[in-house]
Chain A
Amino acid sequence: MEGVMTSRSGVLESLRAEGVKSISPDCSKITVGMATCGIAQGARGIFAAIEEEVAASKLDIAVESTACIGFCQVEPIVEVYLPGKSRTLYQQMTPDKSRELVAATARGEVKKEWALCTVEGTAEGIPAMKEIPFYKKQLKVVTRNCGFISPRSIAEYIARDGYLALSKALGMKSDEVIDEMSHSGLRGRGGAGFPTGKKWSFARNAPGDQKYVICNGDEGDPGAYMDRAVMEGDPFAVLEGLTIAAYAIGSSQGFLYTREEYPLAREMMDNAIESAKKYGLLGKNILGSGFDFDVRITKGAGSFVCGEETALIASIEGKLPNPLPRPPYPAISGLFGKPTVINNVETLATVPQIIRNGADWFSSMGTESTKGTKIFSLVGKINNNGLVEVPMGISLREIVFDIGGGIPKGRKFKAVQSGGPSGGLIPEECLDTPVDYEHLEALGAIMGSGGMIVADDKTCMVDMTKFFFDFLNYESCGKCAPCREGIRQAHDILEDICSGEGKEEDLETLGELAHTVKDFSLCALGGTAPNSLLTTLRYFKDEYYAHIKDKRCPAGVCKKLITYHVDPEKCSGCRVCIKVCPQGAISGELKKVHLIDQEKCIKCGACLEACKLDAIIVE
């Protein structure tokens, strides 16, 4: 046994040393955040510029890439490590700025004016990460590696305590691993919040020679992208979590289901699987323990319902991804009829930390019913866009205003949408609610996978509800009647309301429809579909009445109920709007107030977007 232990730690130790060196080399190091969102903001050009500059001047500076550090608002982000001094993040970089940054780095200097914060060490005039509002109230547990290591490097992962949990778990009995998970109080982060330990023990105790574990990476909730960020930023943590789950329930084959829309996440996971195999952390006889486990990646092809467990299983089986009635639950009869555990990406990435630091450590964070932390994607009409990881129990207000920095352009907060299309819209008066599964449900919303979309007074609640129904109508598999027919009819009624053709009795019909779809649908897609409708009817009924009775859209969104005008006070007669108008609907001479021809106007908003003087009014 001792021999086994030594060889186990042998592999890890040498990789650890290598990783420590590559995270903090003797020379300076520049790292570019190159997750999907970073790349979309120009990170590739910056990376190329830095490499070019370093090569041209033959500098002794290492150039690396990492993933998303969460503060997407200020992408592209570049990190500079000066050995013995500091590790600093720079925001909103451009190729030109980064060339200058290379020069400063070569001199061992920081560029104070572009800096966001320091992550390590101190630098004069630059706040530490913990001091800036965006990060102050965050608690990085699951995202602790995202943006800090190279996601392609198993060595860097190990240098930050990766795979300690697996080797610890392999030394435990599988029941002990499950007990630890149960004690930690971890609940599934995919939406439903089912206790992870319980799920594992069902599958563990279910009879069957072959069992499966599946990582559900089908993050279909629009507005949520933490799973993408975790797969792109810390793929080994997901893989380690999956391996521990497999060991706990006695499975030798795992599947990782990713979305077609996330090519980079898939690439990172692919790479992680290859590396883990290379070092005996996946495959036969893992770390000399006698435990065998292999993982296969399968890919969705554009379908939201595949995030539902039974549909996901059907999809892997090559069948039409239509949900099945439960029971039987997948833990008893899942993939190919075998006991199957399906966990979400974020859940699995939490697992290694619980095993490594202990259940008590984990359960010391969060609230009575909901332990630990949760990643939210804070997006929409908010100043600080990004991924935030916070301890459960924090209030919505703290997330939106303290971390998120409030609403841009001085506009008024209207609602925060939590839980994707299955969630609800939460109004201002409920913002002091602490975030956990129960409290959000009491508000009529759900935690879901963690999307938080902020709406301001220019967002129409009826239109947004219509959007969700349009989305769900498009994504419903069509198997069961309440979901298929009910959502279609509700969408139709909402469309009437948005076009000014709504009737007062529609609201009652919508209410009844919502309850039927919620109670009678086969799976959670239909079961949660009406949440947005129910919450808007509850908190924003006035807006429905404005559309129905006054034929008015207070937010100025619903095309049939609004008109575009030129504000004669503000218009300078610059002709910009005339140039962009696709319909030729705007007329006017230079330096004279312009006029919009209502007959020709298609309300496309091009003029509104182009006008720098806010002279276009929407009513």
Chain B
Amino acid sequence: MVTLEIDGQKVEVEEGTTVLQAARKLGIEIPTLCYNEAIQPYGACRLCVVEVIMGNVSRFQSSCSLPVADGMTVKTNSESVLRGRKVLLELYLARCPQSKEVKELCERYGVTETRFKTFDKMEDCVLCGLCVRVCDEVVGAHAIDFVGRGTERRVDVPFERLWDKCLACGACTYVCPTGHIQNEGRRIGQLRRNLGTERKCRYMLMGAVSSKICPNNYECWRCEYDQRTEYQLGNHPALALKTTGKK
């Protein structure tokens, strides 16, 4: 067990726990956009950055990726953290001015407008990478990835048209915080058009369902399995499988 101090509260957690998890255990809220417990921490949205003091060294680190250590003192809402977080939220608001999720976050942290320029009014992708990572790490389909770099970075299938690796499992759509990723519907339609009902269903492809014939005639939207897992586990089947380890 490791003991550390977060915002003045002592907490004892298991080794290997991240600072974010430890803080959440104490009921301390740290904003995140790129974090999902079923997926490896990525440290890209930087909203979860906190001030970490070890000995006499103070550093800003992303709490989602930082494992706890004995003697660590964490400040999740020091003046400098709050100031930086506000500017960061302004940057997000300038990038995705329409996004409901971003606007809500901004509201929560007292950001009402942004001083920065919006380059694309319709942009709603925050580039958190959850979709890419769930497809890669959890589903293993590698259908989408980042394309380009820097400000031109975006998520897409290869050559903007190679959809063949997409299982239409919908995990990316499910994890997307802003509703930007809507691959599932598009891909299901495509699969039905191209392959009819002869194809394997997405859960068969993920190895979650063994049956060879879909009892639902490949009408994914009303799939019993889908609804059952979501109701029971409160999560998308792909992620639920990952977190519970059940097939």
Contact of A486 among B62, B67, B91, B146 (CB under 8 A): B91
Interface membership of chain B positions 182-203, coded 1 if the CB is closer than 8 angstroms to chain A and 0 otherwise: 0000000000000000000000
Residue in contact with B126 in the complex, picked from A481, A482, A515, A522, CB distance below 8 Å: A481
Residue contact A482 to B46, C-beta cutoff 8 Å: yes
Asked if A489 and B91 sit within 8 Å, CB to CB, the answer is yes
B150 and A478 within 8 A (CB): yes
Check A485–B94 contact: CB distance below 8 A: yes
The reply to whether B49 and A520 form a contact with Cβ atoms under 8 Å apart is: yes
Q: Known contacts A325-B41, A512-B83; can you find 5 more A-B pairs with CB under 8 A?
A: A479-B153, A484-B153, A488-B151, A489-B91, A519-B84
Least Cβ distance of B121 to chain A in Å? 15
Q: Are A515 and B84 in contact (CB under 8 A)?
A: yes
Asked whether B127 is an interface residue with its Cβ less than 8 Å from the other chain, the reply is yes
Is B222 part of the contact surface with A, judged by Cβ < 8 Å?
no
B216 interfacial by beta-carbon distance below 8 Å: no
Asked if A474 CB lies within 8 Å of chain B CBs, one says yes
Do B46 and A521 touch across chains, with their CB atoms under 8 A apart? yes
Contact of A509 (CB < 8 Å), options: B88, B115, B127: B115
CA distance A488 to B127 in the complex (A): 15
Contact A520 B60 (CB under 8 A): yes
Task: Report the nearest A residue to B43, measured CB to CB.
Answer: A325
Cβ-defined contact, A480 with B44, below 8 A: yes
List which A298-338 residues lie within 8 A (CB) of chain B: 303, 320, 322, 324-325, 327
Interface residues of A in 484-500 (CB under 8 A from B): 484-486, 488-489, 492
Q: Fill in one digit per residue for B118-160: 1 if any A CB lies within 8 Å of its CB, else 0.
A: 0100000011010000000000000001101111110000000
Known: A482-B91, A486-B91, A516-B87. A522 touches B150 (CB 8 A): no
CB nearest neighbor in A for B51: A519
Task: Give Cα A521–Cα B44 distance, bound, in whole angstroms.
Answer: 8
CB closest residue in chain B, given A482: B46
Which residues of chain A are near B204, meaning CB under 8 Å?
Answer: none
Say yes or no: A485 contacts B95, CB within 8 Å.
yes
Check B44–A479 contact: CB distance below 8 A.
Answer: yes
Interface of A toward B, CB cutoff 8 Å: 303, 320, 322, 324-325, 327, 473-482, 484-486, 488-489, 492, 509, 512-513, 515-516, 519-522
Interface band, chain B: 35 or more
Residue among B85, B87, B88 facing the most chain A CB atoms (10 A cut-off): B87
In the complex, which residue of chain A has the Cβ closest to the Cβ of B80? A519
Contact B151 A473 (CB under 8 A): yes
A522 to B150, CA, bound (A): 14
A512 and B61 CA atoms in complex are apart in Å by 18
Asked if B174 is at the interface of the complex by the 8 Å CB criterion, the answer is no
By the criterion CB–CB under 8 Å, are A325 and B66 in contact? yes
Inter-chain CA distance A478–B145, complex, in Å, is 13
Which residues from chain A contact B61 at a C-beta distance below 8 Å?
Answer: 325
Give A320 to B148 CA distance when docked, in angstroms. 10
Is the CB of B109 closer than 8 A to any CB of chain A?
Answer: no
Distance in angstroms from B178 CB to nearest chain A CB is 13
Q: Does B45 contact A (CB under 8 A)?
A: yes
Q: Which 6 A-B pairs have the closest CB atoms?
A: A478-B153, A325-B43, A325-B65, A516-B87, A485-B91, A519-B60
Whether A520 and B151, one on each chain, are in contact in the complex, defined by CB atoms closer than 8 angstroms, is no
**Cβ-defined contact, B60 with A481, below 8 A:** no
State whether the Cβ of B116 lies closer than 8 Å to any Cβ in chain A: yes
Show the binding face of B for A, using Cβ within 8 Å: 41-46, 49, 60-62, 65-67, 80, 83-85, 87-88, 91-92, 94-95, 115-117, 119, 126-127, 129, 145-146, 148-153
Complex partner residue of B150 from A476, A509, A520, CB under 8 angstroms: A476
Among A481, A486, A509, chain B packs the most CB atoms within 10 A around the CB of: A481
Q: Shortest beta-carbon distance, B39 to chain A, in Å? A: 14
Give Cα A195 to B16, complex, Å: 27
- The answer to whether A520 and B46 have CB atoms under 8 Å apart is yes
Contact of A480 (CB < 8 Å), options: B41, B45, B84, B95: B45
A519 near B49: Cβ-Cβ < 8 Å: yes
**B152–A478 CB distance below 8 A:** yes
B146 adjacent to A482 (CB under 8 Å): no
Which of A325, A473, A492 has most B Cβ within 10 Å? A325
Cβ-defined contact, B151 with A484, below 8 A? yes
Q: A325-B43, A488-B151, A516-B84 are in contact. Are A481 and B127 (CB under 8 A)?
A: yes
Q: Across the interface, do A516 and B88 meet the contact criterion of CB distance under 8 Å?
A: yes
Contact: A484 with B60, CB < 8 Å? Answer: no
Chain A residue numbers with a CB within 8 Å of B45 are 480-481
Q: How far is the CA of A478 from the CA of B126 in the complex (A)?
A: 11
Contact of A492 with B117 at beta-carbon distance under 8 Å, contacts A520-B60, A522-B46 already known:
yes
CB distance from B235 to the nearest CB of A (A): 25
Bound form: Cα–Cα A322–B146 in Å: 11
Residue of B nearest to A488 (CB): B151
Given A509-B115, A513-B87, A519-B80: A480 touches B148 (CB 8 Å cut-off):
no
Residue of B nearest to A513 (CB): B87
A481 touches B44 (CB 8 A): yes
Q: Which residues of A contact B150 (CB under 8 A)?
A: 473-478, 484, 488
Instruction: Pick 19 A–B contacts, CB within 8 A, sort by A.
Output: A320-B146, A325-B62, A325-B65, A327-B66, A474-B150, A476-B149, A476-B151, A478-B148, A478-B151, A480-B43, A480-B46, A481-B44, A481-B88, A485-B92, A486-B87, A489-B117, A516-B84, A516-B87, A520-B88
Name the A residues within 8 Å of B145 (CB-CB).
320
Complex contact B43–A512 (CB within 8 A) = no
Tell me the complex Cα distance, A477–B115, Å: 24
Closest residue of chain A to B91 (Cβ to Cβ) is A485
Q: Is the CB of B91 within 8 A of A481?
A: yes
B151–chain A nearest beta-carbon distance, Å: 5
CB neighbours of A492 from chain B (8 A): 116-117
Across the interface, B62 reaches (CB within 8 A) one of A322, A485, A513, A522, namely A522
- Could you say which residues of chain A place their CB within 8 Å of the CB of B84? 515-516, 519-520
- Asked whether, in the complex, the Cβ of A478 is within 8 Å of the Cβ of B127, the reply is yes
Task: Choose one: B87, B94, B127, B146; the contact of A512 (CB below 8 Å).
Answer: B87
Residue of A nearest to B117 (CB): A492
The distance from the CB of A518 to the nearest CB of chain B, in whole angstroms, is 9
